[in-house]
Structure 1
């Protein structure tokens, strides 16, 4: 039978790693982008500004503290305000697997990643004989929501081809008070892969993809009217090369993300305001090569190299002139070269030690000729024009894992240290840098995170329970401070020291006779060690309780999400996207779902999210924009009652 509706992501053997199937129906309603999907994984929240294209937050950590790779290539946006967040270019259902690694507990997937790593992956198809597979779904719901997804794969033992295509559309939603919230979107993606498999141990694959869309943002002064993506990648994989080399894998890729924002295409320009539009573009070229080596029966060693170069450009137009008629102006160039090595030692049948080291050489060049002291001020000469910053940054971790001999229990404890070069948004988006610095580019220092992680996972025929916890210290944590009054258009980035801790837990109990009960909880805490104030933009305690009943081809279930009030905040501090406006109220939302398997190939799911039409807002949320009639400091309300249905067919 096809899988049931999933409401709580379960971990693998280790509770700091979770793996999910994004094609499995989930509640709330199927996700429109990567952040929307990750919100269902314990420990994740998202900073929202409308109906789609939110920014994922793991354990209260945001931005490049979270590495996001789509099919092996790092995904990053171009907008200085992250209007096109990296996850906005990800269509979850077009991937086969989503893996989340929490904490600095791997060095294999790029620099930084102090909070964790997210891998959206497509698995290579294998054909013993000539054939074809289809996986298609269609979903419709309240507020004009409709999604269509298609995956078509065909091949034989020597070659294969795969096409992934999807489209997602929604109109403005209504909150629990019946008020319309500007949030409509329309987006599409198409990806094609051609592969050659001359033998069972060899694969060469060429990928190409494109996509585009637009989105209204209740929480921003402009909307996104273009989210254009073009990508190409070439992969090579060879296994079983001898008694020592288990596998060699290599990849080269090129991505181009072009984003346009304006204040007139998807909204009426407010009286007294000038129409304006801006284009931003990021082009990324890079590659990775890694070898997996075996040394005896109990030692595995992965060693490799990765590199990427990013070019960022912009162009702007006032009035109704299209920016397309203007030439691109370079903004920045950023590069990173990394060496990594990770060793797994099976000390015994029940004990394992995993350790890794990474060394990165990061560089950034400021190519802006002029800068502005605030959003409303005139441009002035850039004091760091054509300046280049470089830094060599080490990272590493060591983790001990053990399986109990007398019970189905696995536990781990690890410590990791990672040094993260400031990202594009931290170097170039703030209007000011630390005191006594020319700007953020000149003054912001790399973050240095040292974190201890511990957890356990218990699993038998009836119970699947897990817990993970962490405590860390971040030296030179990058913090944004926003002005008030006449300085409300000014943002300043600075370095502080920070303490962080928290954890997640979950359990599923198969109560018998078709019943399954589950729960999960996530809590994050942060403190500015310099001032003693709370770290901003930290989500409150989030608990999910669910019950499911299965009878033959039917299953029904309920989800109750309970979020505590957040009283730990610091006014007007945050990150490049959001800031704290004050405390937030707690809330509880009940949702229902049902599913019927028409046959072994066809599955119908239906759900009601926010059953009681609760009026509520998340703590991590932008305030509504005055251009849509919102008063300052009022958070955007979440959708009210939402009804959806989804039909999936596989062959």
Structure 2
């Protein structure tokens, strides 16, 4: 009897399942959409999505996780990525290196890059690429402009905007207009900013006022969707910059940059640029003189260079990027001193940058390929030939002191010609 009872129990248990299986309902297709996961250590931002009015590009970068910055005043924030800064970062402004003109870094590259005039900002943290120059152990920051190709239906586009900050009374205006045809375009970008000093939480006024103006003209030739030739002219003018964290202010900081860019459907890209920075700082024109002597430091920084690269995509989805780059920078800065009753100091008190030439020639190769479905293998290798020379290291300033004499006193060596062969890479 027990076996029969067991059989009946099994049949009773199976029968309802069979009946349910015969009544099938087909559900409609459900589509689930999601955003692609970001690459580790890489942030891509659009300035149009920012909240508030950043003081400059350095202020904008500080809102990105892992990025901070230092400042002397309300303008010229020097970015820091993972504790590294200055020449440990490769910062490119629409493909060009712009090295500041102040020996005390009142004007880092971000001081000449009003973020509203760019289409995108990419931060690559750490050593994850060798394409954009030697060094860059802290990371790479790319401020980029990419003008969309115009269509027959949309041959003009533009936007205007502005902002106001109550504390400091910062006023900002900008405009961006593109016009042309499918074969080419002309794009004009302007930006104006004026800021007063701001008050801290205790109501104390902090020196941070500045005025800046920027103008860009970009002429482009676009015969098809993947071929582009651009000529860019940019001018930055910054005046009356006050610094609470320094013993001087900057009555003038100017930058002019020329860019020529090319890319085609076969994966070849080329960038050529020239940047000219003129900077002045003093301790008397924008503040009351408290030192026994007037001090004035005019300085210059000129940079020229270029890069040519080629992308090659293999059948196995392996992508190669290979190329060459060149960069030359010249810096010269003098500090002049004079008595309080002298209108403009004229005594050469110190040679801060003794007409220094720094030349870098490099070649690089970078590869990335998918590994299974969720991993990417990426590696790169580059070689750089670096040469530096201080052309005025033997020139005497006030008291007969030369830069070489100071170098011997503090570092135990002269400013001789230096040649280096550097190899770097990552995996």
In structure 1, the gaps of 5 or more residues are: 1-9, 242-246, 399-651
In the TM superposition, residue 323 of structure 1 has moved relative to its aligned partner by: 7.7
Q: Which residue of 2 aligns with 1:196?
A: 221
Q: How many corresponding residue pairs?
A: 377
1:364 matches 2:384: no
Q: Which residue of 2 aligns with 1:278?
A: 297
In the TM superposition, residue 371 of structure 1 has moved relative to its aligned partner by: 8.2
**Cα-to-partner distance string for 1:298-351 (whole Å, 9 max, x where unaligned):** 11100011110011122443345558999x985200011111111112233333
In the TM superposition, residue 168 of structure 1 has moved relative to its aligned partner by: 1.1
Aligned with residue 252 of structure 2, among 200, 223, 226: 226
Aligned with residue 348 of structure 1, among 369, 372, 397: 372
Inter-partner Cα distance in structure 2 for 1:11 and 1:309: 39
Q: Is the 8 A contact 2:99 2:302 kept in 1?
A: no
Q: CA RMSD in A?
A: 2.5
Q: Is the 8 A contact 1:125 1:160 kept in 2?
A: no
Change (3 A) 1:233 1:366: same
Q: Is the 8 A contact 1:366 1:385 kept in 2?
A: no
Q: Which residue of 2 aligns with 1:313?
A: 332
Instruction: Please state whether the residue corresponding to 2:47 is helix, strand or coil.
Output: coil
Aligned with residue 155 of structure 2, among 105, 117, 131: 131
Instruction: Please state whether the residue corresponding to 1:107 is helix, strand or coil.
Output: coil
Structure 1 segments, 4+ long, off by >4 Å, are: 320-326, 370-373, 383-386
**Cα-to-partner distance string for 1:356-412 (whole Å, 9 max, x where unaligned):** 111111111122335899xx98733625666211111111111xxxxxxxxxxxxxx
Aligned with residue 58 of structure 1, among 81, 89, 101: 81
1:396 matches 2:396: no
**Cα-to-partner distance string for 1:32-85 (whole Å, 9 max, x where unaligned):** 212111111111111111112121111111111111111011222121111111
Q: Is the 8 A contact 1:174 1:180 kept in 2?
A: yes
In the TM superposition, residue 87 of structure 1 has moved relative to its aligned partner by: 1.2
Q: When you count helix as a share of all residues, which structure comes out higher?
A: 2
Q: Which residue of 2 aligns with 1:260?
A: 280
Which structure: larger Rg?
A: 2
Q: Which residue of 2 aligns with 1:380?
A: 402
Aligned with residue 333 of structure 1, among 348, 352, 357: 357
Change (3 A) 1:12 1:217: farther
Q: Is the 8 A contact 1:69 1:120 kept in 2?
A: yes
In the TM superposition, residue 15 of structure 1 has moved relative to its aligned partner by: 2.7
Q: Is the 8 A contact 2:337 2:347 kept in 1?
A: no
Aligned with residue 236 of structure 1, among 251, 262, 265: 262
Q: Which residue of 1 aligns with 2:209?
A: 184
Provide TM-score, normalisation by structure 2: 0.83
In the TM superposition, residue 149 of structure 1 has moved relative to its aligned partner by: 1.0
* Counterparts of residues 235-634 of structure 1 (less than 5 Å): 235-239=261-265, 241=266, 247-270=267-290, 272-319=291-338, 320-322=342-344, 330-369=354-393, 379-380=401-402, 382=404, 387-398=416-427
**Cα-to-partner distance string for 1:91-149 (whole Å, 9 max, x where unaligned):** 01110101011110111111111011110111122112152111111111222210111
Change (3 A) 1:341 1:386: same
**Cα-to-partner distance string for 1:532-553 (whole Å, 9 max, x where unaligned):** xxxxxxxxxxxxxxxxxxxxxx
**Cα-to-partner distance string for 1:268-310 (whole Å, 9 max, x where unaligned):** 111x522221111011110000000122141110001111001
Change (3 A) 1:162 1:216: same
Provide TM-score, normalisation by structure 1: 0.55
Q: Is the 8 A contact 1:278 1:323 kept in 2?
A: no
Choose between structure 1 and 2 for higher RCO, CA contacts under 8 A separated by at least 6 residues: 1
Q: Which residue of 2 aligns with 1:18?
A: 43
Q: Is the 8 A contact 1:213 1:226 kept in 2?
A: yes
Inter-partner Cα distance in structure 2 for 1:140 and 1:116: 32
**Cα-to-partner distance string for 1:184-203 (whole Å, 9 max, x where unaligned):** 11111111100001222211
